Amino acid sequence: MMETQFIDWILTIPEVEKDFPFGPGVQAFRVAGKIFGLLTAITKNQAAITTGSNQLIFFSDLQDTKAISLKNNEGQTLDYREMFSGIIPGYHLHKKYWNTVFLHADIPLEYLEIMVLESYQEIIFKLPKKNQGFYLE
């Protein structure tokens, strides 16, 4: 899926809005005013990211790419990191609840879509019960 198609797909999820709260390089996806996804560019100039386990991820062999950070429950974040090498602990985020997913990595589209929907639902399920039905219809 191309980046624009991916963004368009996310925006088809009920009541999702996109904005740029941290400047033009970071797109935030929100539901009920709360962020559930952050899409950022990773450039060749960013040589490496150190993960929570001191594992270095090098980007020197990649062209410019995109990564989306998604919120999940604690168990899901760890499971996804074990399943795919293209998922690391949330970059500049709470690593217990956030994963950063490289869009041009080894992650099948179905899993990427599932992770986005789970992140969306994490926000919805934290809303007051009386408001949840509006988003889950």
Question: pTM score > 0.85 for this model?
Answer: no
Rounded Cα–Cα distance for residues 94 and 25 (Å): 20
CB 40 within 8 A of CB 26: yes
pLDDT 10s digits, 106-118: 788 888 999 999 9
pLDDT 10s digits, 33-69: 999 999 988 765 554 554 445 455 555 445 567 889 9
- 1-5, 45-49, 80-84, 129-133: segment of lowest average pLDDT: 45-49
User: Percent of the chain at pLDDT above 90?
Assistant: 27
Residue scoring higher pLDDT (106 or 26): 26
The token pair that represents 16 in the structure block: 């999702």
CB 66 within 8 A of CB 107: no
Element (H, E) at 127: none
